[in-house]
Structure 1
């Protein structure tokens, strides 16, 4: 398959290989080019991955924006990340109620990790 005909799934997978250095030298700038191509196709995973890139580059506001776009498309892991960002004030003002709401939404979308984290929120009185 030619490079310009890659699916968003393929673009994200190659981006991850570069982002994490899996079988290839780690290079988050190259990873970004793949993630961005997936995001440009309105792929929610690609949007979240662009958010991950911006977090790594410490551009928290941009990261929040991309995670939010991904969440609006129903991507559960984006809700988990937004919850963390609200909880810790990363790229957005701290807001425990919104953190709880985001984690609850992820759980409603059957994200396994969200069930555990939501339980932690209850235990700690968050939200």
Structure 2
């Protein structure tokens, strides 16, 4: 178990009981886990800000937390950060950064990113269009049961 995991799990349990915005107990627990550099807690809080769960939706705060978590190699944070960069959620739209974060997410084991990198190669999103590489990524994605 990583530092802060107990606080992280306790925060998630509290949040599942009460989804009201401003549920300070769950938020306080999550913040304590983040203070212990827990990347899962950082990612969880980032998603709360992305979707307005327990806190008011705030893409900029979400991106800051995703960046912190991605530095600690959280594959889900890398994926969501890629989505933010691709769509301009909380950051200036930057398809090159989106491609890089999808690629990092793959290397960390996030499977959906395999399809996303293939899509980037297929359409030339943040990278030069390359149908051959797109096909390779789509084939691998299908091996993992990801619809292409």
Which range, TM-score by smaller chain? 0.7 to 0.9
Deviation, structure 1 residue 94:
1.6
1:37 pairs with 42, 59, 68, which one?
68
Deviation, structure 1 residue 63:
0.9
TM-score w.r.t. structure 1 length? 0.76
- 2:135 is matched with 100
Deviation, structure 1 residue 20:
2.6
1:73 to 1:40, Cα distance in 2 relative to 1, 3 A: same
TM-score w.r.t. structure 2 length? 0.66
Structure-2 separation of matches of 1:98 and 1:21: 37
Instruction: Give yes or no for contact 1:12–1:49 (8 Å, CA) kept in 2.
Output: no
- 2:104 is matched with 69
Query: What is the aligned length?
Result: 113
Give secondary structure in 1 for the equivalent of 2:127. coil
Q: 4+ runs of 1 displaced by more than 4 Å?
A: none
Structure-2 separation of matches of 1:79 and 1:85: 10
Cα offsets for 1:89-127 (capped at 9, x unmatched) = 11112222211211222233x2x3x2x31xxxxxxxxxx
2:115 pairs with 80, 88, 102, which one?
80
1:106 to 1:20, Cα distance in 2 relative to 1, 3 A: same
Pairwise CA RMSD of aligned residues?
A: 1.9
Instruction: Could you tell me which runs of 5 or more consecutive residues in structure 2 were left unpaired when the two chains were aligned.
Output: 1-6, 8-31
Deviation, structure 1 residue 23:
4.4
| 2:60 corresponds to 1:25 | no
